[in-house]
Amino acid sequence: MRRWRRAAGTEPGLREKQRAWHWARKVRDARRAAAPYTNALGRPVCGLCGRGRPVALVERLRVSHTAPGGFARVLLPYCGCC
């Protein structure tokens, strides 16, 4: 593997693959930030395990400095298995 990477002929192709992979990762991360609790295809997933299809919403408390009492209510999609 080291010899293959060191070869001059493979470097341009390898760099192009790396650029494409990094670009795809940036796009994927941007989409995930825009729509939380979704997979790479944009389908909803469980907010706890990130794998199962959600069947219910569960209530969790999140620490908040602005909410009265120091906690804010957050609803997460839940698959029922994790």
Per-residue pLDDT tens over the stretch 42-76:
889 999 888 889 999 999 999 999 988 999 999 99
* 57/77 same-domain check: yes
Q: Mean pLDDT for the chain?
A: 87
Model pLDDT, residue 62: 92
Question: Has residue 38 got a pLDDT over 90?
Answer: no
DSSP codes, 13-70: HHHHHHHHHHHHHHHHHHHHHHSSSB-TTS-B--TTTSSSPP-EEEEEEEE-SSSGGG
* 48/29 same-domain check: no
Model pLDDT, residue 42: 80
Of 38, 62, 64, the closest CA to residue 75 belongs to 62
pTM score, two decimals? 0.54
How many Cβ atoms sit within 10 Å of the Cβ of residue 46?
21
Tally of structural domains, the chain: 2
* 49/24 same-domain check: no
Question: Has residue 8 got a pLDDT over 80?
Answer: no
Within a domain: 22: yes
Average pLDDT estimate for 18-23: 94
Domain that holds residue 61: 44-82
* 24/50 same-domain check: no
